[in-house]
A and B are shown apart, each in its own frame.
Chain A
């Protein structure tokens, strides 16, 4: 079983997150040069969400490799939970990005390469959940899901990073963003806070998923006994 986060660690996470949010709302200045400088602060939430989505996607792929090497069901559960968290943070990145795009560029959706890439990742994880739902045998489900999540993890960075950075000149996103020190002081601690939340959510979800699978196995056994 995954260890539960200790109460002191939960308290520290709460205080750290509250500190980050207070800094963002009270200290970060409006960004000069944007159409709406006050609301440019949204970037301090948008960028950390994107970082956490990337970390969760890496966790899903890493545990996918671990499953294929060791055939250990615990790795499959971790890969699945990583994919669920990646889906959630891709969704949050899309929402915060669309709000930023609306207030700064006048439209919720601009078909920008990076915007499209996050939407594609959402589709990839939706397809991954559909694939899992369509296979009943747990071991086959684990192997095929691991293959799909790895296959997607190798090919989708082409759209999200390689093409926008090296081949497309016109993009609303900066290629290599350089932030002012006040913004860096908000973005990086917020990213750390969200990664900390990810660790908490990951442990909780893995434990919940293990319990779910144990219940499903018990139900199958009792059905077999009844028959």
Chain B
């Protein structure tokens, strides 16, 4: 029953987003503009030499997560604001449990966030000429970080939807809490790219701890959200 409610809400999220494409358009445009800015601003930095490759991988790891964070702050806050604007909050309260609403919105937000990562990560690496030595590890880092970030943005998005100042508040509330995931995400991306690791070194042997950090953060964020969401939703 709970799973059915959750999947129904996740399906509704994706369908309504596909019909209006508001978040998709704003996220897509933001990602395209930020990649163009990265390409233009790094065009004069010589990244082809041995030293340049190292600088390129460091810039790539930082830029990927900066783009993902700001894109999320732009697009993911809408999930609950839309319900509040359309006056559909009461209907949702009647038809589903609070935790099912949160879980459905979380699935929708995380899929959107993963979509942003699918465009941002390969394009930024391509623009900066970075070769990824451990692609499987990079995928694991991105997926785990996106799950943790999706959980935080869904909960803070629900908080912000109940306030009068929606614009910048989502970023202000989310970024300090997201910092552990951001730090581990940048660190994991650097190591998956192969920065200061020999090509033969196994990722799990040298950097498995980062995946544990990201997994623990995601589990904590989901558990805390499920525990506290009832107080936001039924208030």
Bound: A163/B216 CA distance, A:
11
Residue among B172, B179, B224, B231 making CB contact with A130, cutoff 8 Å: B172
Q: Are B176 and A124 in contact (CB under 8 A)?
A: yes
**A73 interfacial contact with B, CB 8 Å:** no
- Shortest B150–chain A CB gap in Å is 14
**A28 interfacial contact with B, CB 8 Å:** no
- Known: A131-B169, A136-B164, A162-B216. Is A151-B184 also a contact (CB below 8 A)? no
Residue among A121, A150, A156, A163 making CB contact with B183, cutoff 8 Å: A163
**B180 interfacial contact with A, CB 8 Å:** yes
Residues of B within 8 A of A147 (CB): 155, 159, 228, 231-232
**B165 interfacial contact with A, CB 8 Å:** yes
- Known: A134-B163, A147-B232. Is A127-B176 also a contact (CB below 8 A)? yes
**A108 interfacial contact with B, CB 8 Å:** no
Bound: A156/B173 CA distance, A:
13
Which of A116, A136, A163 has most B Cβ within 10 Å? A163
Interface positions, chain B 184-221, Cβ under 8 Å from A, are 184, 209-210, 212-213, 216-217, 220-221
**A152 interfacial contact with B, CB 8 Å:** yes
Residues of A within 8 A of B162 (CB): 135, 140, 144
Q: Are A131 and B180 in contact (CB under 8 A)?
A: no
**B235 interfacial contact with A, CB 8 Å:** yes
Residues of B within 8 A of A121 (CB): 176
Instruction: Report whether over half of chain B's contact residues are helix, strand or loop; otherwise say mixed.
Output: helix
Q: Are A127 and B217 in contact (CB under 8 A)?
A: no
Interface positions, chain A 151-171, Cβ under 8 Å from B, are 151-152, 154-156, 158-159, 162-163, 166-167
**B152 interfacial contact with A, CB 8 Å:** yes
Q: Are B232 and A159 in contact (CB under 8 A)?
A: no
**A146 interfacial contact with B, CB 8 Å:** yes
Residue among A134, A135, A163 making CB contact with B184, cutoff 8 Å: A163
Residues of A within 8 A of B180 (CB): 155-156, 158-159, 163
Q: Are B235 and A143 in contact (CB under 8 A)?
A: yes
**Number of residues on chain B facing chain A (CB within 8 A):** 33
Instruction: Report whether over half of chain A's contact residues are helix, strand or loop; otherwise say mixed.
Output: helix
**A148 interfacial contact with B, CB 8 Å:** yes
Contact indicator per residue, chain A 105-135, by CB within 8 Å of chain B (1) or not (0): 0000000000010001101101100110011
Which of A123, A148, A159 has most B Cβ within 10 Å? A159
Q: Are B232 and A155 in contact (CB under 8 A)?
A: no
Q: Are B231 and A154 in contact (CB under 8 A)?
A: no
Question: In the complex, what residue of chain B is closest to A67 when comparing beta carbons?
Answer: B231
Bound: A162/B212 CA distance, A:
11
- Shortest B216–chain A CB gap in Å is 7
Residues of A within 8 A of B152 (CB): 155
**B225 interfacial contact with A, CB 8 Å:** yes
Bound: A143/B165 CA distance, A:
17
Q: Are A151 and B179 in contact (CB under 8 A)?
A: no
Bound: A163/B187 CA distance, A:
12
Q: Are B213 and A163 in contact (CB under 8 A)?
A: yes
**B175 interfacial contact with A, CB 8 Å:** yes
Residues of B within 8 A of A55 (CB): none
**B43 interfacial contact with A, CB 8 Å:** no
Bound: A140/B84 CA distance, A:
15
Residue among B173, B175, B177, B209 making CB contact with A131, cutoff 8 Å: B173
- Known: A143-B231, A155-B217. Is A148-B176 also a contact (CB below 8 A)? no
Residues of B within 8 A of A135 (CB): 162-164
- Shortest B165–chain A CB gap in Å is 4
Q: B residues engaging A (CB < 8 A)?
A: 152, 155-156, 159, 162-165, 169, 172-173, 175-177, 179-180, 183-184, 209-210, 212-213, 216-217, 220-221, 223-225, 228, 231-232, 235
> Can you give 27 A-B contacts (C-beta < 8 A)?
A68-B228, A68-B231, A116-B183, A120-B179, A121-B176, A127-B173, A135-B163, A135-B164, A144-B159, A144-B163, A147-B228, A147-B231, A151-B156, A151-B224, A151-B225, A152-B176, A152-B177, A154-B224, A155-B217, A155-B220, A155-B224, A156-B176, A156-B177, A158-B216, A159-B179, A159-B180, A162-B216
Q: A residues engaging B (CB < 8 A)?
A: 68, 116, 120-121, 123-124, 126-127, 130-131, 134-136, 139-140, 143-144, 146-148, 150-152, 154-156, 158-159, 162-163, 166-167
